[in-house]
Copies of this chain bind each other. A is one copy, B any other.
Amino acid sequence: MTAEAKAVTTPASPPLTERQEARRRRILHASAQLAGRGGFDAVQMREVAEAAGVALGTLYRYFPSKVHLLVATMQDQLQHMHATLRKRPPAAEDPAARVAETLMRAFRALQREPHLADAMVRALTFADRSVSPEVDTVSRLTTAIILDAMGLDAPPTAEQLSAVRVIEHTWHSALITWLSGRASIAQVKIDIETVCRLIELTAPPEKA
């Protein structure tokens, strides 16, 4: 509904043939499958290749490292989630509550597949410079989801973008602490709600 409805997908540098697109899809599917049970460690490149019916060398041609593969998997999952969230936008009154609601909804979705979440998030934070473009895409996707939830009328101000970035930081980091068992879901909820108060801080009341 808001502005950001495009340009968040990958640029798709060289157009892939149909069979190549199918291979890519099989690989991503195998990756998510293996990650789903077993997490990061269970995604073994040889197994992914076999499950996708593809040679190891081919897998590496499509995704130059395990981290690349998992970050791409995350892109894929995030796109699904973005689409799903759009269908039933958050109901709350003010933007802060809407963002918190959206993030907690996303969080609960991840809870259903904790191993998959583990694999994707670990890959994301472990990524080095060579994966920057892909990680950046994930970041933009996340930003789009949050901005969507805010439901702004006008393009976001610099201040609001800062707040969104901080919310994203908190989201990622809270996810990690939860995945490594160092924080409960309740704790994560509190942290999300706390950081979302930054939104109120950046948006002077527009209507009484």
Q: Is the interface of A mostly helix, strand, loop or mixed?
A: helix
Residues from chain B with Cβ under 8 Å of A174 in the complex: 169
Copies in the complex: 2
What's the Cα separation between A136 and B180 when bound, in Å? 10
Residues from chain B with Cβ under 8 Å of A135 in the complex: 180, 182
What's the Cα separation between A139 and B7 when bound, in Å? 37
Closest approach, in angstroms, between the C-beta of A175 and any C-beta of chain B? 10
What's the Cα separation between A180 and B195 when bound, in Å? 24
What's the Cα separation between A180 and B182 when bound, in Å? 25
**Contact B182 A166, beta carbon cutoff 8 Å:** no
Instruction: Pick the residue among B40, B165, B187, B197 that contacts A198 (CB under 8 A).
Output: B197
Q: Which of A44-52, A58-66, A98-106, A123-131 contacts B (4 or more CB under 8 A)?
A: A123-131
**Residue A122 interfacial (CB < 8 Å):** yes
Give A142-177 interface residues, CB cut-off 8 Å to B: 159, 162-163, 165-166, 168-170, 172-174, 176-177
Instruction: Pick the residue among B131, B173, B190 that contacts A162 (CB under 8 A).
Output: B190
Give A98-124 interface residues, CB cut-off 8 Å to B: 122
A→B interface (CB under 8 Å): 40, 122, 125-129, 131-132, 135-136, 139, 159, 162-163, 165-166, 168-170, 172-174, 176-177, 180-182, 187, 190-191, 194-195, 197-198, 201
20 residue pairs A–B, Cβ–Cβ below 8 Å: A122-B125, A122-B126, A125-B125, A125-B126, A125-B176, A126-B126, A128-B180, A132-B181, A132-B182, A135-B180, A136-B182, A139-B182, A162-B194, A166-B194, A166-B195, A168-B173, A169-B174, A170-B173, A170-B195, A201-B201
